Amino acid sequence: MKNTLKINHNERKIIMDRTFAKFAENTRSEEYAHLQMVRKDYPNYNVLVRTIKKNPNKNCYDGLTYQYMKNYIDKYEEVNQKEKVLEELDNMLFISRCHSKALRYPKIKKWFLDKYPNIVKFGMPKEEIEKTINLSKNEVSLSA
């Protein structure tokens, strides 16, 4: 059993993750037996499934792949700079291969968005652009 329960005594809660909850649905599983044992030990505690808090202001760029970045640079970068920027991107991709996948993409995405800030507004209706700009201003004022 890899997934376990956590007990929060301060808030009087028994907390399990989603995977544990799924396994505990089977009344013949180890997870079900473990849950019942803990509930017997702490009958006044509430049983909850842990949820991950999500950032509602997070900007997602689902289509922003490495290939998209190359195509964008190829299409919109000035002719005399195009080869240099593509070489810089390829170099970053090569260097990043020694890092975990979780680290390499965010670094390259940040570089790309810093270099091409208009990509954030690319293809968005005017109202959405203004909404995005207002959210960014609020984030700046909150962090200041």
**pLDDT one-digit tens code per residue, 38-56:** 999 999 999 999 988 888 8
Within 10 angstroms of residue 3's Cβ, the number of other Cβ atoms is: 16
Q: What confidence score (pLDDT) does residue 58 get?
A: 76
Tokens of 72: 């964008």
Within 10 angstroms of residue 74's Cβ, the number of other Cβ atoms is: 12
What does pTM read for this prediction?
A: 0.51
Low-confidence stretches of the chain (pLDDT < 70) are 1, 122-144
Distance CA 102, CA 72 (A): 23
Q: What confidence score (pLDDT) does residue 130 get?
A: 54
Q: What confidence score (pLDDT) does residue 141 get?
A: 39
